[in-house]
Structure 1
Amino acid sequence: MRTVQPTTPPDPLTPSVSPQGTTLGYALFATRWLQAPLYFGLVAAQGVYVYKFFNELWTLIVRCVSGSATETYVMLAVLKLVDVVMIANLLIMTIVGGYETFVSRIGLQGHRDQPEWLSHVNSNVLKVKLATAIVGISSVHLLQMFVDVHHTSHHALLWGTVIHMAFIASAVLLAYMSGPMLREDKGHGSHHGMPEGPRPARGPVERDRPQGPVDPPVPLRAPLPIPAQATSNENYETRFARGTTRLVRYEARREPQAGGAGTGNGNGTGNGNGVEGRIRAAGFPARKLLEEFDEGHPRSFDRLLLARLGTLDFVATGRNVVFVGAPGTGKTHLAIGLGVRACQAGHRVLFATAAEWAARLAGARAEGRLAQELSELDACPLLIVDEAGYLPFDPDTARLFFQLIAHRYERASLIVTSDRPLARWEEIFGGAAPAMVDRLAHHAEIVRLEGDSYRLRRATSAG
């Protein structure tokens, strides 16, 4: 039974907050800022370690130049430098990760130097990483004792080994105890990827979701393994019908297999009709492969990141990918290449420009079936939004994009290409941009492409 959409949907950016108890709650929550001076104190402590590092380095250089440095001294001095660096790394992790987790978001989304671990850090992950860093520091100290064994008592060696093993046992125990906590966080859709298994049916009110009519229960497909295998009863595909606003289902065509025996089953075996069907249904403007991308063209390009994206692990975990760069730097090529590879792995994919997605969602809203449309899109583990930013959108259309991103948040993956960094998305989506970027970039790989237009280069060389 179709639920009727209200003619004027509520503003998804204005949450309803009960006035009772909010003053006390906000006051208690504001006390988190008392921790801020502690982290700045750790910054001062890191400055002390920087001074200690260069002091030790200068002493080592002077003794090596004067010829008074023995091999044992050099080894111990280098281990001291490594020890200082590891402690400084521990401080950085505590300062940045702790401040981000317990005080306030730092807002590094889209920054080219954003640490990989910061995108999925929480208190449990932070504790495990700190324990691992402490074990590393203890290992360096123990190695120093064994290098200088002639000047270290057996009693000190014994207790150093015992303390080091205690650190290892503590780290293993902490990691073991954090495992169920992380799985519980995933089950509640917290800071990690998609939960395992089907998600419970959505109710009338859901955290961080636009409020609207109650949708019928829609089971969420579990992440497919890579490479994924389609089921034998998969007898239809989905496609983006140009000029329409809804998913069009069609029966997979059954064609003779190679050798003339039997019929294709549409699941990617035999003659590969299932793969071709998924690629046709995706609506790519052209077929482009990752292997065909000219990696030498962009001036700045993370090739290791592209190789990792090519494994499609981001699809299995419901993460997003955002390609940012000037026109002609290869954003659409890479988005299509990842989409084609996802089709080959057994995933359904839909490709459209931002303007086409806007028309599709606006049409569904006009028909009173926006919630149904968003639910039907759950059948596609990967949606590609191309050319976001070339045309600004009015507030109503921006809200539609917010609903699309919020609906897929921690459910399924998006690939977005844009000529503007996320910090400038207010120029495209107005007031909806901060909430949209917050959800899009929370579990996302930001890929920056810098360089001249590939098309203009070819046109210039041809002229």
Structure 2
Amino acid sequence: MSCSAVASEEWRIVTTTTIGFALFATRWLQAPLYFGLVAAQGVYVYKFFYELWTLLVRCVSGQATETYVMLAVLKLVDVVMIANLLIMVIVGGYETFVSRIGLQGHRDQPEWLSHVNSNVLKVKLATAIVGISSVHLLQMFVDVHHTSHHSLLWGTVIHMAFIASAAILAYMSGPMAAHRAADHAPHKGDRGQGTGTDAAPTAAVTAAVCSVPIPAQASAPHPAIDANANVHANADAGTEARVRAAGFPARKLLEDFDEEYPRAFDRETVARLGKLDFVAARRNVVFVGPPGTGKTHLAVGLGVRACQAGHSVRFATAAEWAARLAGAQDAGRLAEELAVLDDHALLIVDEVGYTPFQAETAALFFQLVAHRYERASLIVTSDRPLGRWDEIFGGPSALAMVDRLAHHVELVRIDGDSYRMRRATSAWAE
């Protein structure tokens, strides 16, 4: 290919990218619309308290009949439901179509916001409209003596149309989500053995898997995009180097986790964690559950995902971290060791609670947690909830450690029997 052809191709790529970014930036034109909806919500707040005041005045003056009170309360409920619908549109729509809202770690963050998309938003809006329509229809039936048969008939027909449309949207959202999952999910031949699960992951875990894609393998080189191929190759090499340096006991991926096995398992939280927002927010993650329920698998899966995203990660068991910190203290360089660990965005402490620690070791763990508090992230796996960590560490350091660890934490509880014992029992039975 001639130099002019290469230059022309490069110019085409730059132009296309620039136009794409410019078009994507137009999404900010929608931002004022959401502020307008906020103003509309203020109008509904005023209407709610006006109706409430009117109801109270008529009740006190004895002018309120039972039918009037029921209709007035239904009207208040109607106002609240419409206000809820506005919140859903404002928050969910802004998050989906304009820009991500930085609520990671906020205790009031709605669960649905972590995996919101256009389909989820449409289904939630449809169900909210059905609820509002139900209240309107109930108002008609309560005041049936003052409602014409024509209004009742068309009110019922419209309500059934809303129900049918919501059911159709809900039905269509399932196949569409599965289609996207099939497009993004890895082929079976590319999957690690992990827990031996070859079935396609559910939508929640798939959303987490796709949030930080694995760098693509470089394909056949093209003169105009050779540099991009080199970038991808370097990214692959960097990811592999970070994974090897992390010290994982085995390479586990989130998509290989047998999520159908545990009796209780918070899939939505793990899906949200898979987006790695907790690393950027310097929050902690604690997996709690009996042995063999997949805590280490999930911790390593998040660690591998962090390596793929460019973060430096270090993995070790609690006993190994204790030995490392004790060695640094004996050498008189504990402060330097803690400073070195600051270079890693994520530390994973596995198997906390399997063996009790002496008071000196507990003090070292406290220094590790306190040093990384609001500075960098920790993932901890344990067989005991945080409230029982005094059984592991003892002394006042346990309470202080839990206080700092739990201040910014995502707690994932897993309940079930040991996966390893199940495999062993199956082997014995055969």
TM-score tier after normalising by the smaller chain length? 0.5 to 0.7
Name structure 1 gaps, 5 residues minimum: 1-17, 229-309, 325-330, 362-369, 378-382, 405-416, 430-436, 441-446
Amino acid in the other structure paired with 1:204? Q
Q: Deviation at 1:176? A: 1.1
For residue 150 of structure 2, give the secondary structure of its aligned residue in structure 1.
helix
CA distance in 2, matches of 1:94, 1:396: 41
Instruction: Say if 1:152 and 1:208 are closer, same or farther in 2 by CA, change over 3 A.
Output: farther
Measured after TM superposition, the shift of residue 456 of structure 1 is: 2.4
- Answer yes or no: is the 8 Å Cα contact 2:259–2:265 preserved in 1: no
- Residues 102/201 of structure 1: CA separation in 2 closer, same or farther (3 Å cut): closer
Q: Is contact 1:72–1:147 with CA below 8 Å preserved after alignment?
A: yes
Q: Is the 8 A contact 2:204 2:271 kept in 1?
A: yes
Counting matched residue pairs gives 288
CA distance in 1, matches of 2:141, 2:19: 56
Q: CA shift at 1:183, angstroms? A: 1.3
Task: Please point out which of 349, 352, 359 is paired with 2:296.
Answer: 349
Higher helix share: 2
CA contact under 8 A between 1:33 and 1:103: conserved in structure 2?
Answer: yes
Distance 1:120 1:209 in 2: 31
**Aligned-partner residue type, residue 224 of structure 1:** D
| Cα contact 2:204–2:267 (8 A) shared by 1 | no
Q: What residue is the counterpart of 1:177 in the other structure?
A: 172
Alignment partner for residue 49 of structure 1, among 44, 53, 69? 44
Give the Å deviation of 1:130: 0.2
* Inter-CA distance 107–459: structure 2 relative to 1 (3 Å threshold): closer
Distance change in 2, residues 1:348/1:47 (3 Å): closer
| 1:34 corresponds to which of 29, 44, 47 | 29
Give the structure-2-normalised TM-score.
0.54
Corresponding letter in the other structure for 2:158: I
Deviation at 1:222, TM superposition (A): 4.7
TM-score normalised by structure 1 residue count: 0.50
How far apart, in 2, do the equivalents of 1:192 and 1:135 lie?
Answer: 25
Write the deviation string for residues 240-286 of structure 1: whole angstroms up to 9, x where unpaired: xxxxxxxxxxxxxxxxxxxxxxxxxxxxxxxxxxxxxxxxxxxxxxx
User: Which of 181, 184, 188 is the equivalent residue of 1:186?
Assistant: 181
Output one character per residue of 1:399-449: Cα deviation in whole Å (capped at 9) or x when no partner. Answer: xx49x9xxxxxxxxxxxx9968x9x85x338xxxxxxx9xx9xxxxxx999
Report the AA paired with residue 217 of structure 2.
P
Q: Give the Cα–Cα distance (whole angstroms) in 2 for the partners of residues 102 and 113 of structure 1.
A: 22
Counterpart CA distance in 1 for 2:125 and 2:135 is 16
Q: 1:114 to 1:219 in 2, by over 3 A?
A: closer
Residue 88 of structure 1: how far off its partner (Å): 0.2
1:71 to partner: Cα distance? 0.4
How far did residue 178 of structure 1 move?
1.4
Change (3 A) 1:49 1:173: same
CA contact (8 A) 1:393 1:428 kept: no
1:104 to 2:51 alignment: no
Q: Counterparts of 1:419 and 1:81 in 2: how far apart (Å)?
A: 49
Change (3 A) 1:109 1:188: farther
CA distance in 1, matches of 2:148, 2:257: 56
- CA–CA distance in structure 2, aligned partners of residues 93 and 210 of structure 1: 42
Residue deviations 1:53-88 (CA, integer Å, cap 9, x gap): 000000000000111100000000000000000000
Partner of 1:456: 396
CA distance in structure 2 between the aligned counterparts of 1:85 and 1:208, rounded to whole angstroms: 51
Higher relative contact order (CA 8 A, sep 6+): 1
Partners in 1 of 2:16 and 2:60 — Cα distance? 69
Q: Return closer, same or farther for 1:126/1:201 CA change in 2, 3 Å cut-off.
A: closer
Aligned partners of 1:128 and 1:171 also within 8 Å: yes
Is 1:204 the counterpart of 2:217? The answer is: yes
**8 Å CA contact 1:87, 1:137 repeated in 2:** yes
> Closer, same or farther in 2 for the Cα pair 1:188/1:157, shift >3 Å?
same
